[in-house]
Amino acid sequence: MSTQLNYQNFIKELSDNLKSINQKVLLVAVSKTKPLRDILGLYSLGQRDFGENYAQELRDKIKATTKHQDDISWHYIGQIQQNKIKYFAGKATLVHTVDSLKTASMINEFCLKKNLFQDILLQINVSEDLNKGGARFEEAQELYSKIVKLERLNIKGLMTITEYSKDPEHSRTDYRKMKNLSLDIEKRYGCKLELSMGMSNDYRVALEEGSTIIRVGTKIFGERTK
């Protein structure tokens, strides 16, 4: 099945799910390792937000889509390394994976030097999965209180990747914890936060628990070959 047909089928499925819970969501199509023709194919169907895991690949795809820069949004969803910050800071619409004060400070310092600003999400390891990145759940509020003071960063919300399970319901408790954390921070700081959680296998559960951003790759682009 073609990527474009996969996308159209998923959009219908997503629309049906959103109607059932009366909610809106931002779909980030995870396009890592996928060719530009697939991305432009989805763009022609109306998709505008794309997620990349590799900083240099993100840089290259941004350059290759310059003529669409007014309405295409690139999300950086990969691990952050100091020597790769230059590839996404000030270029990515949203950086999803800031998980420490050290990392945030490095991005902030780069942005100060280049006179840039960067929207970010704080990644929280709600499942305490050693294979996943993210700050410890119990440290999330303290981390927010420190990073929110960095003048070149704008915290737009929280992100999490839960421990993988074939059963989507396995993630429900963790997603509910994230929603409650988000509400607590909003109340404490008088802000409004996005909540990025849910992927191809469990996005329905994430939506039911309050997700406002979902990151979907496999259901749109198919399985990735190694």
Indicate the average pLDDT of the chain. Answer: 95
* Domain ranges (residues) in the chain: 3-220
179-187: list long-range contacts, CB under 8 Å, 24+ apart.
Answer: 179/209, 179/210, 181/124, 181/126, 181/137, 181/140, 181/141, 182/157, 182/158, 182/210, 184/141, 185/140, 185/141, 185/144, 185/158
pLDDT in tens, 94-146: 999 999 999 999 999 999 999 999 999 999 999 998 889 999 999 999 999 99
Correct CATH for 3-220 of 3.10.580.10, 2.40.50.140, 3.40.190.290, 3.20.20.10: 3.20.20.10
- Dig out the tokens for 171 from the structure: 């993630």
pTM here?
A: 0.94
Residue 224 has pLDDT above 80, yes or no: no
pLDDT in tens, 195-213: 999 999 999 999 999 999 9
pLDDT in tens, 7-46: 999 999 998 888 777 678 999 999 999 999 999 999 999 9
